Structure 1
Amino acid sequence: MFPKFMPHREVLPLLESKALYKGSLRINRRNRQDAYVTCDDLEYDIYIHGAINRNRALEGDIVAVQLKDVEEVWAVKKAKDEKDADKKKDQPNPFAPKDEREIEIIPNENESCTNDEDDEERKKPKYCGIVVAILDRSQEPMLTGTISLNRPGQVESAPKKKKKDDEEERPRPKPSMFWIKPTDKRLPFVAIGIRHAPKGFIDDDSTFSKKLFVARITQWPITEKHPFGELVQELGNVGDLAAEAKALLAENCINDQDFPNAALGCLPATPWHIPAVEFTKRRDLRFHRIFSIDPETAKDLDDAVHVIDKGDGQYEVGVHIADVSFFIKSRSALDTEARSRGTSTYLVDRVIPMLPSLLCEQLCSLNPGVERLAFSVIWQMDEFGNIQDTWFGRTIIRSCGKLAYQHAQDVIEGRPLSSSLRIHGHTAEEVEKDILNLFSISKHLRKARFDNGALSMNSVKLYFDLDDEGKPIDCHLYEQKDANRLIEEFMLCANISVAKKIASKYPDEALLRRHAPPIERRLEEFLMQAENLGYVLDGSSAGALQASFNEIESQEVKETLLILAIKPMQRAKYFCTGLLDISKYVHYALNVPMYTHFTSPIRRYADVIVHRQLEAALNDVEKFPLDSKEIARIAQQCNIKKDGAKNAQDASIQLYLAEYIHRQTQLHGPMYCEATVVAVLDSAYEIFVPEYGIEKRLHLDRMALKKSTYDLPNHTLILTWQTDAIEMNDTQPEKSVLRFDDDDCGDEDDLVKAVESKLSMDEDKTTSETTSEMTTESDTALPQGGPVDSAKPNDKRSTDSTADSSPSSDGIQVIKVFEKIKVRLDVDMNKTPPMVNVHSVNPHILM
């Protein structure tokens, strides 16, 4: 079935000679026959067609790829696509009238019609290849799903005919294996030996059809189409909130077990006090007016700030980060456990920490009124944020106050600090002045950042209120304010400063973070799509794109285009400097030559390594103890765990949103929402529901239409509804997509703190949030709501148009981009995970 893997000893020299290419595999969610390998040595992704060429590699695996002839691969793909299309034509449309529904396309001589502009398989790739070796599995090969005796594609046997009295019942042959159908459609069905089947399964497998299991892939011989595995755990029933929550952790290899005794044994005895020797080795800042700004009830305070007005427009500004590396010794059991976990995971109902609570919430947390160890970055800067000098070093601090974001926001808006806020050793008036000074400087830093070409694309962020049983009872959009941006700017500044320091000292071993430019083909498609809508955007750089967005006067248009701009963006990644050309160090969204993570060591292992590198650099250690290959392995592990945590976080939000919508529809009936049309194709249109951050493609063949006409020159759909139809319901609904930030705000990301805040507020309420490296925050800027530059600044296209999306008396509805339409939301609780469905609404029922 599959070619043999090449031995690693043969692969390595071929990688060096560029006869093979190394990269990370991703599988198309809509069509798992299509996969892509992102390789640092190539400008474009390598397209992998079909399971054979993918050669048993799974999502996220690091693979070695041999290039194949593009024309040959593409011909095979197109032939298969045509065959699949013919099969699809034969499938009946349940919503079509008796006479075949008419589809008409008004052509545009200068344009070609694309049914699916964002599907990667529509355009011929630059490179094609075959996987010849798996260099590193992204995670332990685990999966969740439902089990069945039927193999993939096997039709269930018809009910047995009743036997006559004189006929003997033949015993049913015992099967040799059963199958687990994965929740993640990118994973293969897995065959499991029947001896591992749960009790009672063989006698009546139908009773297990709605139960969730975790399985592990154990082997995948080249002779078998499907891998073999074993059951690990039964989780519960499909659709059950607790069972689905366990499943999303298992799918993303999130370790939520208690910390092992060996790791706990590395913790210091309590009560703990700062050793006397540390006072002789560190800068004493205990009498500086240092304070933290976090959510009101946050427990792990890992950053604090101070500012001193030196007169004549000169300031000293400090960022102080919890000195986690003091407590985690390299290669200790606690270090091994932290490296294994990689990052804390923020779910709707809880946080799964990277470190034990003794460190997270007590010894490392910069709590007010107590002495704490810190690693500090202190700048001498002017009132405009221009840095004149930078000092790095280990310090001892005593925070004078734990401020909430709302406290700082009150001061920014001209109100005094709350009288209930306790300030240690200083006055509230002094802290208020500091906040205003920091805010003033942060505004200049932010302006300079965007003037220098940074990109911001803020996205929808949701959090939930939970009842006593942990069920969602309300859903909110998170709003970022000036106080959040204040902290963000100084955290970004600290990360950039530290990146420069460690890279200059260890040019081959520094652990940095890069954000690659957008996928060029997707960016070109987006720019063309925007131009078709009347907006010429400059995508030559992050700054040019930001400027283009800034030129758009209509906020609705801007937000819609920002949704479309998400798709070309890539996630930021950790990397080792010695293994990548310096030209690729750049962080695209921040538009800085180098960047790292320093400000959140409590919840990110990468920051712990960066702290160690900064300490070694300050101590003038000539060679860092870990070589470039080991740093690269750590970077890869951190990338894998960060992606897993991000995916689990998003899945948790989707799960709770599904539960919330399901409960609301049960209590109050159908849920109707306003959606914005963000793209129009000849056989579908895409909508965005800003209230819940949901993006969905609605297909015409699932609607009760008499006729549809696609006006290509004007990019509109004219729909003629069946007047006797009440409302459309998807018979084969697709999972909606939640559009959140791509993750990675570090400490500068107040959303992570918002989660911590809500979680610790009380046991009855909790928050869900997502973080992103694609916002102006610590890392990237991705999702929806930001800026871009218009090559036609005066080309304003109104969101109002001569065509109206409301229905006419003869059942006609016009669909065009920027239009507002009504949709209905519901949830299929029989799917795993529960699926939020978005239905187009026959406008006649709203008349």
Structure 2
Amino acid sequence: MLASKTFVKKTKKGAVVKVVREHYLRDDVWCGVARCRLCKQQAPVLDACPTVASELCSYPHLLVPDTNVVLHQTDFLEDASVTNVIIVQTVLQEVKHQNVSAHKRLRGMIADSSKKFFVFSNEHHRETFVEIRAGESANDRNDRAIRTAVQWYNRHLQEGGVDREGKEGRGERTKVVLITNDSENRQKARDLGLPAFTALEYVQSLVNSPGLVDRLANPGEAAENGRKKGKILFPEHLPLSVIQTGIKSGKYLQGTFQGSRQNYLEGHVNVSSMEKWVFVQGLQNLNRAVHEDTVAVEMLPESEWSCPSGLVMKDAEDQVEKGEKEVEDEEGGSEGKTTHKTVDPSLLQPTGKVVGIIRRNWRPYCGTLLPLTSMKGIRHTFVPTERRIPRVRLETRQAPSLLGKRIVVSIDTWPRASRFPCGHFVRELGEIGDKATENEVLLLEHEVPHQSFSQDVMADLPRLPWSITDDDLKQRRDLRHLDVCSVDPPGCTDIDDALHCREKEDGTLEVGVHIADVSHFIRPGMALDREASDRGTTVYLADTRIDMVPELLSSNLCSLRGGEERFAFSVLWEMAPDASILSTQFTKSVIRSRAALTYAEAQMRIDDPTRSDLVTVSLRQLNRLAKILKQGRVGKGALTLASPEVRFEVDSETHDPVDLQTKELRETNSLVEEFMLLANISVAQHIHQHFPHCALLRRHPEPPLSNYDILVKAGKARDIPIHVESAKALANSLEEANLPDHPYFNTMLRIMATRCMMQAVYFCSGTLPPEEYHHYGLAMPIYTHFTSPIRRYSDLIVHRLLAVAVKADQTYPDLLEKHKTQKLSNHLNHRHKMAQYAARASIRLHTEIFFREKSLVEEGFVLFVHRNALQVLIPKYGVEGMVFFDGESASETGSKLSLTHDNEKPTLAVEGVVFRLFDRVTVRLEVERSSIQQSKLKLYLVSPVIPGLHPEEEEIEPPPSKQLKLM
């Protein structure tokens, strides 16, 4: 059957065209139910007689949720007890258009065979397709289509004889139940004689799943409860239409809200049109914005501008230790007004207030329940692990069993009369402090995909045994005769780069960088490719790694292991002895690595005068050239920065850390880095030449001069000028910044400089002018990532572009669409940033495990000065922590400590003892377990001695936006 619709429309150029849309309808769309006598052509998905113990539906039944239930009750649908669900095509399409995240989760449930979710193509079935009526909204039409599908299913199952067999013949017929929270839709369904219930009605009727009701989200009821209780705390959010008009007129600014890790009453809105972020301070000005929400902000008059208080607030502990009464008083009565203090005008920042929410970016959050004075009620408070997320009010009947455990909670709404948002319980993770549980928490909090690879992905892997064939050799350059070797950290199994150097007869040098040809195994359109794209990067934790691609590729067929033939994508340079490049070639190749060396092993070969084998000679030549290349980069203004990095030695049985050391850098680290940089630069130039509008590149924006304020002040405090007008000026200043009595001073300055930088990001060349391609940290006009395709999806895309450019592969349409490339770049930027943060969180977790049952006294240096705390770096362990001075309870007499903070110098005087940046201090490191949230590594000041001091120190991580890897 064919249904058609004809209409006319005007094009952008003003032409009027006639459009005919044809919609094909069929009679043979099957229902998916087992034992249905009318549908026998395909394997069934749904049980013929599902057995669900429900007081409302005593008969066997299947469920049909409407669109709103799928959008807002995904946690309920994902529960293992919810099976045999029909997702009608109308719902699937609506969810896809309204919420990409919810659609992805729904697709995951459909793909899970144990869930028994079946997609019914009601829009292509002759008896269930409905036309929109005159004056009917699209939403009303879709609700009617869902009811029509439920009506057809019940009639179809009656005619198909699907029932539960009784002892004396025919049993009860299977029915289809509509689940909807729309009262009008539910009533219309009941008027048709259809069984229809709200999600709450249905879940409360279940006999065997009493805890499932906790997983229901009920924004409407939560908001109503908020309106009934207490006075209004927050201004009303402006309607979206008003916000859009205001943004166009310039009255409002749109940006992403970034909460402060150190003070829950402060945050910034990242507005792309402004050099500085907009500072927001105080509960009312924050106006229920949650970290990463897209918000509309209104600038305050300059007379009301403010600046960060400099206070490190221990909100996560201070608030969770309050009793139930204090929480209620705080929620109902605190207005959260900002206290304005007289501050230096030079410190003031552009300040605004949040007037509306454009898009919520809420996700499931990990944390713990607050132990209130009474656990008998169902209303409880949830404390997120992430400091920038507010506490959440929720109702749960499982509180006694959840105390002391990590749980996951989702936010549903934030009423104006409540200081905290309302949410619902999702699931339990495990005991607080358990290593596996804490690893799960950090992966979830940083949105790291860590599930096992699906069967579809594994089906795309090559079959074993695998070997290189004669046909493969015909299509590649055979470089197996070269003395190639790899140099990597100890224990590395995903080896994606190797190098060689040999002298030619004419005195020039042939230098090669050979990169694993992952693109040979991962082709566009494969499930393997989609999974790698979603993961974006391999995530390296302290004791394990989360692979971007399955182990068969990452550690075997793509890994350039010693003595094994492998596919590679090679960059070959002809170089003069002075490291100048005479010519460059790019080719798909076959190589056989002579050795897979660690940095230490390669260094020993270079330093051992008795070694003269070809691999060692190659390494020595590469090392000599690398020094020249680095000198040339530094001469152009490339920055050499620093960050504290640690390495754990892990027990082979318990996998707990048994030793903690800072990573040692050798010449071979620089050797590999220089040639990887050179390869990335050469490839960037080549793909941009061939694809000027769709090349995937990497840029590092120049920081605004205001970012360097703390660095300039730090140098000034030690009578050392720091020039920041250009990267070269900064590099020269850092090179000359030394103190004879302070050997670690220069390193600390470089660590501080690193945190002044912007984040390096991927982008599509067609979206920015060439002058913005510049990589500030490397002082290069163009750059990309090519050298790590095993662990970065960006490199895989660059491989595909380069293969097309050298005519080694065909062109794929998606590679040539700049908007798709930019969308992919944004996704990869997010994954890359989250992977960095997850790695740091894993190091913090293992550091705390290492220091359990230990109390060590070590030398440290003051890295940052706050109004009430010192941030101290302990070089021996690469550990940072906060020595906290509590002004209310730190002295023996109970009186407040005398604290004087000078932001200009910057210094902090505690009872007359003055602390400056980079001062030496002695601290004691211990793990404290007083917090219900988690154990924390605490730093206690040992010297200089402050009489009567009993600080309540807390480890504070520097803002992630200031921590980055420049490459």
Q: CA deviation at 1:830?
A: 4.3
Counterpart-to-counterpart distance in 1, 2:311 and 2:631: 55
Counterpart-to-counterpart distance in 1, 2:606 and 2:694: 42
Tell whether the 8 Å contact from 2:237 to 2:355 is kept in structure 1 after alignment: no
Q: CA deviation at 1:611?
A: 1.2
Q: CA deviation at 1:19?
A: 8.0
Supply the AA of the counterpart residue of 1:558.
Answer: N
Tell me which residue corresponds to 1:739: none
> Which of residues 338, 347, 369 is equivalent to 1:123?
347
Q: CA deviation at 1:621?
A: 5.0
Tell me which residue corresponds to 1:244: 438
Q: CA deviation at 1:228?
A: 4.4
Moved more, 584-593 or 37-46: 37-46
> Which of residues 136, 142, 156 is equivalent to 2:364?
142
> Relative to structure 1, is the Cα distance of residues 23 and 587 closer, same or farther in structure 2, using a 3 angstrom cutoff?
farther
Tell me which residue corresponds to 2:631: 447
Quick check: 1:71 aligned with 2:304?
no
Counterpart-to-counterpart distance in 2, 1:383 and 1:133: 60
For residues 191-237 of structure 1, give each alpha carbon's deviation from its aligned partner in whole angstroms, at most 9, with x where no partner exists: 4343xx43xx3xxx3x6432111223456678876444443332222
For residues 511-541 of structure 1, give each alpha carbon's deviation from its aligned partner in whole angstroms, at most 9, with x where no partner exists: 2112222343231232133213211111112
Alignment map for 1:57-136 (pairs within 5 Å):
58-60=290-292, 63=294, 66=296, 68-71=298-301, 75=304, 123-126=347-350, 128=352, 130=354, 134=358
> Which of residues 706, 717, 720 is equivalent to 1:521?
706
Counterpart-to-counterpart distance in 2, 1:299 and 1:405: 14
SS of residue matched to 2:301: helix
Tell whether the 8 Å contact from 1:238 to 1:830 is kept in structure 2 after alignment: no
> Relative to structure 1, is the Cα distance of residues 622 and 711 closer, same or farther in structure 2, using a 3 angstrom cutoff?
closer
Find the structure with the greater CA-based Rg: 2
Tell whether the 8 Å contact from 1:573 to 1:639 is kept in structure 2 after alignment: yes
> Which of residues 713, 717, 720 is equivalent to 1:532?
717
For residues 776-800 of structure 1, give each alpha carbon's deviation from its aligned partner in whole angstroms, at most 9, with x where no partner exists: xxxxxxxxxxxxxxxxxxxxxxxxx
Tell whether the 8 Å contact from 2:312 to 2:866 is kept in structure 1 after alignment: no
Quick check: 1:582 aligned with 2:770?
yes
Counterpart-to-counterpart distance in 1, 2:343 and 2:663: 32
Counterpart-to-counterpart distance in 2, 1:256 and 1:83: 36
> Relative to structure 1, is the Cα distance of residues 504 and 226 closer, same or farther in structure 2, using a 3 angstrom cutoff?
farther
> Which of residues 404, 418, 433 is equivalent to 1:210?
404
Tell me which residue corresponds to 2:619: 435
Supply the AA of the counterpart residue of 1:142.
Answer: P
Counterpart-to-counterpart distance in 1, 2:238 and 2:419: 14
> Relative to structure 1, is the Cα distance of residues 31 and 553 closer, same or farther in structure 2, using a 3 angstrom cutoff?
closer
Counterpart-to-counterpart distance in 1, 2:768 and 2:550: 34
SS of residue matched to 2:628: helix
Supply the AA of the counterpart residue of 2:684.
Answer: A
Moved more, 684-693 or 478-487: 684-693
> Which of residues 12, 28, 40 is equivalent to 2:260?
28
> Which of residues 535, 550, 570 is equivalent to 2:758?
570
Counterpart-to-counterpart distance in 1, 2:704 and 2:946: 42
For residues 100-132 of structure 1, give each alpha carbon's deviation from its aligned partner in whole angstroms, at most 9, with x where no partner exists: xxxxxxxxxxxxxx9999xxx993324646475
> Relative to structure 1, is the Cα distance of residues 125 and 447 closer, same or farther in structure 2, using a 3 angstrom cutoff?
same
Tell me which residue corresponds to 2:936: 835
Q: CA deviation at 1:323?
A: 0.8
Supply the AA of the counterpart residue of 2:388.
Answer: R
Alignment map for 1:474-489 (pairs within 5 Å):
474-489=659-674
TM-score (norm 1): 0.72
Alignment map for 1:286-365 (pairs within 5 Å):
286-311=480-505, 313-365=507-559
The CA RMSD over aligned residues, in Å, is: 3.8
SS of residue matched to 2:240: coil
For residues 308-360 of structure 1, give each alpha carbon's deviation from its aligned partner in whole angstroms, at most 9, with x where no partner exists: 21255521111111111111111321111111111111111111111100100
Q: CA deviation at 1:66?
A: 4.5
Tell me which residue corresponds to 2:689: 504
Tell whether the 8 Å contact from 2:868 to 2:899 is kept in structure 1 after alignment: no
Counterpart-to-counterpart distance in 1, 2:608 and 2:917: 41
Tell me which residue corresponds to 2:957: none
Quick check: 1:617 aligned with 2:805?
yes
Tell whether the 8 Å contact from 1:292 to 1:402 is kept in structure 2 after alignment: yes
Tell whether the 8 Å contact from 1:509 to 1:578 is kept in structure 2 after alignment: yes
For residues 463-493 of structure 1, give each alpha carbon's deviation from its aligned partner in whole angstroms, at most 9, with x where no partner exists: 1122222222211111010111111100011
Quick check: 1:462 aligned with 2:664?
no
Counterpart-to-counterpart distance in 1, 2:570 and 2:723: 39
Gaps of 5+ in 2: 1-233, 320-340, 948-967
Counterpart-to-counterpart distance in 1, 2:564 and 2:502: 21
Tell whether the 8 Å contact from 2:536 to 2:832 is kept in structure 1 after alignment: yes
Tell whether the 8 Å contact from 2:485 to 2:499 is kept in structure 1 after alignment: yes
Alignment map for 1:761-840 (pairs within 5 Å):
815-831=915-931, 832-840=933-941
SS of residue matched to 1:841: strand
Tell whether the 8 Å contact from 2:252 to 2:298 is kept in structure 1 after alignment: no
For residues 133-177 of structure 1, give each alpha carbon's deviation from its aligned partner in whole angstroms, at most 9, with x where no partner exists: 55694xx71211112486xxxxx46x9xxxxxxxxxxxx7x53x4
Counterpart-to-counterpart distance in 1, 2:304 and 2:642: 41
Counterpart-to-counterpart distance in 2, 1:540 and 1:445: 24
Tell whether the 8 Å contact from 1:411 to 1:432 is kept in structure 2 after alignment: yes
Tell whether the 8 Å contact from 1:349 to 1:470 is kept in structure 2 after alignment: yes
TM-score (norm 2): 0.64
> Relative to structure 1, is the Cα distance of residues 548 and 313 closer, same or farther in structure 2, using a 3 angstrom cutoff?
farther
Quick check: 1:187 aligned with 2:389?
yes
Quick check: 1:635 aligned with 2:830?
no
For residues 656-683 of structure 1, give each alpha carbon's deviation from its aligned partner in whole angstroms, at most 9, with x where no partner exists: 11111123x2xxxx32111123455675
Tell me which residue corresponds to 2:792: 604
Tell whether the 8 Å contact from 1:826 to 1:836 is kept in structure 2 after alignment: yes
Supply the AA of the counterpart residue of 2:519.
Answer: S
Tell whether the 8 Å contact from 2:814 to 2:820 is kept in structure 1 after alignment: no
Tell whether the 8 Å contact from 1:462 to 1:477 is kept in structure 2 after alignment: yes
SS of residue matched to 1:531: helix
For residues 246-266 of structure 1, give each alpha carbon's deviation from its aligned partner in whole angstroms, at most 9, with x where no partner exists: 211111122222101011111
SS of residue matched to 1:596: coil
> Relative to structure 1, is the Cα distance of residues 31 and 683 closer, same or farther in structure 2, using a 3 angstrom cutoff?
closer
SS of residue matched to 1:278: helix
Q: CA deviation at 1:655?
A: 0.8
SS of residue matched to 1:521: helix
Supply the AA of the counterpart residue of 1:839.
Answer: Y
Counterpart-to-counterpart distance in 2, 1:454 and 1:416: 36
Counterpart-to-counterpart distance in 2, 1:514 and 1:15: 28
Q: CA deviation at 1:604?
A: 0.9
Quick check: 1:272 aligned with 2:272?
no
Quick check: 1:695 aligned with 2:880?
yes
Q: CA deviation at 1:376?
A: 1.4
Tell whether the 8 Å contact from 1:616 to 1:624 is kept in structure 2 after alignment: no
Q: CA deviation at 1:43?
A: 2.1
Counterpart-to-counterpart distance in 2, 1:711 and 1:54: 26
Tell me which residue corresponds to 2:218: none
Supply the AA of the counterpart residue of 1:188.
Answer: P
